[in-house]
Amino acid sequence: MSFLNDFLASIKEVKWFSQAGELPSACLLFDTRADAVEAAQNIARYTSARYTSADAAWNAAWNAAWGAAWEAAGSASQEAVENTAMDAARDASLVAGGMSAWNNPTEPNTVYALRRWSVWQAGFGCLCDIRGTLYCYRRVV
């Protein structure tokens, strides 16, 4: 099995918001997603990067990871939960895109995506990165 297939299969194994693991270095941890958003907005205005590629494999991996993470994280109608599911899906898609583009988990962009994903695997949420610091949260609301 490839790195990508292993990763896609592992998405279903994430223990969402269990707080059972260790956060990577250079993280700020907030109680809720709203607290993390407020802190990030106080530091800088940020927007989600848009990732596009002509590479069909990259796009397919992105879409597969997005769907798997969205389904695994839950699809409740509450806005905060939807935003959290989108955060998780975005980070899973970053990993899948990097793996399919380079097929190398040590490639710098993939390493960065895996660092973000490790927050989810540890049982926390990952909102954003500001100057190398990941803004993380314990629970959605």
Q: Around 82, how many Cα atoms within 13 Å sit in the side-chain half-sphere? A: 4
- Which residue range is the domain that position 76 belongs to? 30-139
Residue 23 inside a domain? The answer is: no
Residue 75 inside a domain? The answer is: yes
Given a contact cutoff of 8 angstroms between Cβ atoms, the answer to whether 110 and 3 are in contact is no
The interaxial angle of helices 56-73 and 79-102, nearest 10 deg, is 150
Q: What does the pLDDT look like over 74-131, one tens digit per residue? A: 544 456 777 788 888 888 888 888 888 777 778 888 889 999 999 999 999 999 888 8
Report the candidate in 88, 107, 93 with the shortest Cα–Cα distance to residue 7.
93
Number of structural domains found in the chain: 1
Higher-confidence position of 6 and 119: 119
State in Å, rounded, how far the first CA of the chain is from the last one.
Answer: 37
User: What does residue 80 show for φ and ψ, rounded to 5 degrees?
Assistant: -60, -40
Residue 45 inside a domain? The answer is: yes
